[in-house]
Structure 1
Amino acid sequence: MSIEHSAMQQNMINTMSSMREQAQMGTEIRTNPHTANQDNFHTAIKQAVRRVDNHQQHASQITADVDAGRSDDLVGAMVASQKASISFQALTQVRNKVLSAYDDVLKMPL
């Protein structure tokens, strides 16, 4: 057992030494090359808003067609309307969560 403990201690000492050396060299800020091609938060929110708007416009068009007698797809109109409503509610909840998180960050002590 004492050989295992001394080997573990030596391993920990080596790890701590390398960490100390890295800390003494300073920090360097590097951009992650994998995130350079990904969309940012602004783009994601913009796309979500556009999708919700498309759902609502589609539901409005189908409902208007049913009201005008150009279509008899009442079930499709109701489903589209519910889909638009649910997507809008989900977007609203995401917005509320983001604003709540932003407020929490602002209230953090420095």
Structure 2
Amino acid sequence: MGMAQQSLLATMQKTAALASSGIITKPNTMMPIGTAFAGTQPVSFSQVLNSAIGNVNALQHSASLKQKAIDMGQSDDLSGAIIESQKASVAFSAMMQTRNKLSSALDEVINIPL
């Protein structure tokens, strides 16, 4: 596994650990939402999801641009294009696994007998 994949995996593991402990953090700051900072606003769950989807989209767009540059002969950085493609693939797989977990959790909540 390359450094980029290890870094992404470490970030995902840290986020999963924080989520399971009930502490949700602002993206890229790792500060608890409830921390009192002047001028900071709480981050909603939908904002975190939208940010994650935006990051996956940006990775896929970057991989597409690198591949297109190679296809058109503008670049010869094949290894860079492959790495970007793998980053996008890992990020997309993680997003889909998160979606599947959220979907199954919602199904469990709906099926709880009242």
**Which bracket does the TM-score occupy, shorter chain normalised?**
0.5 to 0.7
Write the distance in 2 (CA, Å) between the matches of 1:56 and 1:100. Answer: 26
1:38 CA displacement: 2.2
Q: How many percent identity over aligned positions?
A: 41
More helix by share: 1
Instruction: Give the whole-Å Cα distance in 2 for the aligned partners of 1:43 and 1:51.
Output: 12
Q: What is the Cα deviation at residue 109 of structure 1?
A: 1.2
Distance 2:49 2:108 in 1: 20
Q: How does 1:79-90 map to 2 (within 5 A)?
A: 79-90=83-94
Q: Give the alignment partner of residue 56 of structure 1, picking from 37, 41, 60.
A: 60
Q: Which has the larger radius of gyration?
A: 1
Give the superposition deviation at 1:51. 0.4
Letter in 1 for 2:34: H
Cα distance in 1 between the residues matched to 2:71 and 2:104:
41
- Show the counterpart of 1:47: 51
Give the C-alpha shift of residue 93 in structure 1: 0.3
Q: Number of paired residues?
A: 78
Q: Quote the residue 2:34 is aligned against.
A: 34
- Opposite residue 41 of structure 2, the aligned amino acid is N
- TM-score, structure 1 length as denominator? 0.67
TM-score, normalization by structure 2: 0.64
Q: How does 1:86-101 map to 2 (within 5 A)?
A: 86-101=90-105
Verify: 1:73 aligned to 2:77, yes or no.
yes
SS of 2:74's equivalent? coil
Deviation >2 Å, runs of 4+: 33-38
Specify every segment of 5 or more residues in structure 2 that has no aligned partner in the other structure, as ranges.
Answer: 1-32
CA offsets per residue over residues 57-76 of structure 1, 9 Å max, x none?
Answer: 00000000011111110000
Q: What is the alpha-carbon root mean square deviation over aligned residues?
A: 1.8
